[in-house]
Chains A and B, each alone.
Chain A
Amino acid sequence: MKILVCISNVPDTTTKITFSSDNKEFNKAGVQYIINPYDELALTKALELNEAAGGGTVTAIHVGQADAEPNLRKALAVGADDAVRIDAAPIDGFFVASEIAHYAKDKGFDLILCGRESIDYNGGMVAGMLGELLDWPSVNVITSISINGGEAHLERDIDGGREVLTAKLPFVGSCQKELTEPRIPNMRGIMMARSKPLQVLPVAANTAHTQVATYAAPAPKAGCKFLEPTQVEELVHLLHTEAKVI
């Protein structure tokens, strides 16, 4: 199969998030970037599907700037055959989806996989928008995929349970945690990544529908207060006056 995997470049999960320019910009100084963990699952699943099918190619695509290239090369090290970077500073989910759709529309992909959301802005929009823009089916939060001929057998999380469905190829899928275990690149893969193609393409549509007005950090967590089991009145008092929940 010919699979396209969308890669997002996100701050490491231990990053201390701060903002600059009147809370209008995320402060990137000193931040380590990683491949969005859900996208790593998409990449690993794409490789597994092709291994099970006995062949195929995996292309990793990213909409973003040159500082994301180390992570695209990591995708190559993990096993992608080639990588594409659309050279732009993405503004919103629609911007990203329309760039990817523009790239993918005439390339004959059987499948596009991405993460269920990126762990920085948590938009979770790209898969649905891609499906719409390409006029393909799209399925969110997939926990299992198997492909037989031109049809995919999928499972996905729904509230309080699990949905089983089928979809005709080509389709867009967003990947959930249970789908697979992320693959660590091995040393040979890392060395082979040197010679795999990483294509940089100019931005095509350049459309965004939203822009950030301001950011705000969450209120700091208050410390825990411990009460003895006998202090019921004190508990009610605190819930009323301090926590203001009753």
Chain B
Amino acid sequence: METTTKKQLRGGEFLVKETTAANIFIREDFSEEQLMMFEATKDFMKTEVFPHLPRFEKGDYALVESLMKKAGEMGLLGISVPQNYGGMGMGFNTSMLICEEISSMTGSLATAFGAHTGIGTLPIQYYGSEAIREKYLAKVASGEWIACYNLTEPDAGSDANSGKTKAVLTPDGKHYEITGQKIWISNAGFADVFIVFARIEDDKNITGFVFHKDEVTGLSLNEEEHKLGLKSSSTRQVFYDKVKVPVENMLGERDGGFKIAVNVLNAGRIKLGAAVVGAAFKVIGFAVQYANERKQFGKTIGTFGAIQQKIADMATMAYVADAALYRAGQDIEDNQNRLLAAGKPEAEAKLKGIEEYAVECAIIKVLASEAMAFVADEGVQIYGGMGYSADAPMEAAYRDARISRIYEGTNEINRMLTVDMLLRKAMKGELDLIGPAMKVAQELMDIPDFGAEEDTSYLAQEKKVLANLKKATLMVAGAAVQKFQTKLADEQEVLMSLADMTIQVYALESAILKTEKLAGKIGEEACKERYEMTVNFLHKAAEICNKAGKEAIYAFAEGDEQRMMLLGLKRFTKVAPENLKNIRRSIAAKLLDANQYPFA
């Protein structure tokens, strides 16, 4: 891996610093071995999953269970579990690549896989004592035992730390008796291993425990939930009636459960990004195939501009999310490796390595799940009436996509976290937001620089727009912080706008740098459509930043200040006119010719 000369940005620094194409990772950088794993996963999907697609819509929980066992035999459940615990010991980005493919065909398997390998495995791997890891990790990595994660309660969803489930120490001091109710528990119906969070006495925070279901009594499950999608993913309520768990089964420390939940969610968020990007590639493939087959007015509908426009925009969103995904993934992996090399223990290196990029994880969760929502929606539209039919693949894709904006923290929670975490980093001195924000405020007072010579190098104009969008974001964020100070958390609408701008900045930068890096590898001509997707996205990103910026400014600035900020916003979100119609036609032509999404 090319880590030696990389100059890695810290988490959140993208907003205030520039980075170069050489410093980001793109999927085209994966090694032969990583790609062989990816191809093997594709073969697994083709032979074991694709032939059964309709069964996933009929509550076939046994099918998902058997696929999880087969995935375990293939080694797909332990990609990033250390080798001494029976895993493959591969890095974070490899686990994302495998997650992308295995999650691409049905949300039912995606959710079972994500729940098991993410929130079902990581608390054991990162927080389990040596004895716990010895007992559970190899069997979870091989799929011999399937895991589930019991956090959410009827009154504790987004506010996860408010759970009412209790853990009471037995008089002999050897066990905790856990009593309470957990809801929306993925894999509960066939899980062997349960990770559960409960409060001990009046602790401020919850505490995590792990146990095997055969070793306890008092555990019971409700019926399978009836859901909009994920029809074959087991989702049940789990009832705890004095479930006796040995004190040694505590994960991490007493009062430390909320920290586990938060830290494990970082990985869950970005991996959800991988899952939906995989699904988006497949949905785009189906849509393109349909557009090439379906004839109306004597022509295939793919020849119509209105359809081509959709195909181009779908591909653009998938391309951008993909770029952001593996960029952040490798930053996490490199940071984890750096901490390991510095002598940190494995679990701590992994946790701290990803925590640094918690902002990026939240950004990718929102970006990718909303890209998928758009792709699935337009996929239905391209299929027309057949898109609404359960006999064609779009109907299930559309329903399954919906949950991704809800679980792993709703997109609203993730938007607030994006801003909140950035501001916290600034307050802790880890990130200099104030300096650059003040510089932008100063620039507003100056006369705009009209005279600078045009840089005509590849992507230079796009980078200029990107730099301006960063300024726009810093200008609005800086003013909002000044205005509301510690009360900013109460202005959720403003936080949403700031998050929207921040997300667009990260996404656009990732797309520009990905295109630049790949063009360096395979040539600008071979990257023609990728460049066009970058430009297509740039216009959208600038528009979103303009709209979000305006709404925020309207919400807190008045009079001269408002006028000046609106002028600044206009200047910083300005984009040169471009014939987007022709650009989209060219992008669509490439997909229609390939009869699939050809950039992954």
Contacts of B37 in A (CB 8 A): 187, 190
Name the residue among A74, A77, A184, A188 with the largest chain B CB count within 10 angstroms: A184
Task: Say whether B36 contacts A185, CB under 8 Å.
Answer: yes
Contact residues of B between 8 and 65, Cβ < 8 Å to A: 32-33, 36-37, 39-40, 43-44, 47
Task: Say whether B88 contacts A188, CB under 8 Å.
Answer: yes
Task: Say whether B47 contacts A190, CB under 8 Å.
Answer: no
Residue A28 CB within 8 A of the other chain = no
**How far is the CB of A102 from the nearest CB of chain B, in Å?**
29
B79 and chain A: residue at smallest CB distance? A187
Name the residue among B36, B76, B78, B79 with the largest chain A CB count within 10 angstroms: B36
- With beta carbons under 8 angstroms apart, the residue of B32, B73, B88 that contacts A70 is B32
Contact residues of A between 180 and 233, Cβ < 8 Å to B: 184-188, 190-191, 193-194
Task: Say whether B33 contacts A187, CB under 8 Å.
Answer: no
Task: Say whether B40 contacts A184, CB under 8 Å.
Answer: yes
Chain A, interface SS category: helix
**How far is the CB of A39 from the nearest CB of chain B, in Å?**
15
Residue B75 CB within 8 A of the other chain = yes
Task: Say whether A186 contacts B36, CB under 8 Å.
Answer: no
Contacts of A186 in B (CB 8 A): 40, 73-75
Given the interface pairs A73-B36, A184-B44, A185-B40, the reply to whether A191 lies near B74 with Cβ below 8 Å is no
**How far is the CB of A237 from the nearest CB of chain B, in Å?**
24
Given the interface pairs A70-B32, A73-B36, A74-B36, the reply to whether A187 lies near B43 with Cβ below 8 Å is no
Task: Say whether A187 contacts B75, CB under 8 Å.
Answer: yes
Task: Say whether A73 contacts B75, CB under 8 Å.
Answer: no
Contacts of B47 in A (CB 8 A): 184
A71 and chain B: residue at smallest CB distance? B36
CA distance in complex: A187, B35 (Å) = 11
- With beta carbons under 8 angstroms apart, the residue of A70, A184, A188 that contacts B43 is A184
Interface range for B:
10 to 19
B46 and chain A: residue at smallest CB distance? A184
Given the interface pairs A184-B43, A184-B44, the reply to whether A190 lies near B36 with Cβ below 8 Å is yes
B596 and chain A: residue at smallest CB distance? A14
Contacts of A190 in B (CB 8 A): 33, 36-37, 40
Task: Say whether A187 contacts B32, CB under 8 Å.
Answer: no
Name the residue among A70, A74, A190 with the largest chain B CB count within 10 angstroms: A190
CA distance in complex: A73, B36 (Å) = 9
Contact residues of A between 40 and 54, Cβ < 8 Å to B: none
Contacts of A74 in B (CB 8 A): 36, 39
CA distance in complex: A193, B73 (Å) = 17
CA distance in complex: A186, B74 (Å) = 5
Mark B88-99 against chain A: 1 for CB-CB distance below 8 A, else 0: 100000000000
**How far is the CB of B77 from the nearest CB of chain A, in Å?**
9
Task: Say whether B33 contacts A184, CB under 8 Å.
Answer: no
Task: Say whether B74 contacts A184, CB under 8 Å.
Answer: yes
Contacts of B73 in A (CB 8 A): 186
State the B residues within 8 Å of A (CB): 32-33, 36-37, 39-40, 43-44, 47, 73-76, 78-79, 88
27 contacts between A and B (CB under 8 A): A70-B32, A70-B36, A77-B36, A184-B43, A184-B44, A184-B47, A184-B74, A185-B40, A186-B40, A186-B73, A186-B74, A186-B75, A187-B37, A187-B40, A187-B74, A187-B75, A187-B76, A187-B78, A187-B88, A188-B75, A190-B37, A190-B40, A191-B33, A191-B88, A193-B33, A193-B36, A194-B33
6 interchain residue pairs of minimum CB distance: A187-B75, A184-B43, A186-B74, A186-B75, A185-B40, A187-B88
